[in-house]
Amino acid sequence: MTQNSIAEFNAPQHIVELFDSIESLVDTVSAFVSDGLSKGDRALVLMRLAQWNSVASELTSRQVPLSEAIASGQLTVLDGTRTLARIMPHGSPCRGLFEEVIGKTVRQICAAGVRLRVYGDLMDVLAADGNFQGAHELEKMWSDLTRQEPVTVLCGYSAATFDNADAGETLKSICRSHTNGSPAGLRHTLSN
């Protein structure tokens, strides 16, 4: 994804992106968050802490005042692993818990009348563990939420998760649950 393509994230939508490296993930998520914050949007990041630390470092190098954004409520960061554990008591996502933990947070942020950008890698955690059904169910919950609230959700997956032939149908199904919906329209970030 290039800086110029970031502008298209102004309207509510549900987007999927495959990353082939941590560098491409960090660059894309940093651009998505920093662009939103610079426009006065709110941002909610749900990701594994090790990856968040890399993104935070990149945002700092881009002169994004993270402490100020977090203190003001413009940026909210949740540990993806812990959040996932809270919404999956029996190994699959629970819609009620999703609403209680994530939906409630999104609605509180949107109640201020601002646009919200969300980056999440929760589904990638599930897919990497082979829980494609759980990832797909969680994607449906995000899609429902984007129809109810003015939120743009960017879901990130490791491209390596879908390298085997058996994962092709799963990838197509996941793509269909997003507004950029078809494998041909899928954004695939490649590092050089």
pLDDT score recorded for residue 46: 97
Q: How far is CA 77 from the centre of its chain?
A: 12
How many H-runs (helices) and E-runs (strands) does the chain carry? Answer: 9, 6
More confident residue, 167 or 110: 110
pLDDT score recorded for residue 132: 85
Indicate the burial class of 187 (C-beta count within 10 angstroms; 0-12, 13-18, 19 or more).
Answer: middle
Decide: 30 and 58 in contact? Cβ < 8 Å.
yes
- The highest-level CATH class for domain 11-189 is alpha beta
pLDDT score recorded for residue 133: 86
| CA nearest to 9, candidates 188, 180, 177, 186 | 180
Mean of per-residue pLDDT scores for the chain: 83
Is residue 107 over pLDDT 50?
Answer: yes
Q: How many CA atoms lie within 13 A of 156 on its CB side?
A: 27
Is residue 74 over pLDDT 80?
Answer: yes
d(CA 66, CA 60): 7
Output the pTM of the full model: 0.84
Q: What is the pLDDT of residues 46-69, one digit of tens each?
A: 999 999 999 999 999 999 999 999
Indicate the burial class of 74 (C-beta count within 10 angstroms; 0-12, 13-18, 19 or more).
Answer: middle
Is residue 186 over pLDDT 70?
Answer: no
Percent of the chain with pLDDT strictly greater than 90: 56
Q: What is the pLDDT of residues 4-52, one digit of tens each?
A: 444 455 556 888 888 889 999 999 999 999 999 999 999 999 999 999 9
Give residue 183's region: left, alpha or beta (phi > 0; psi -120 to 50): alpha
CA geometry: angle 150, 89, 79, nearest 5 deg: 55
Is residue 134 over pLDDT 80?
Answer: yes
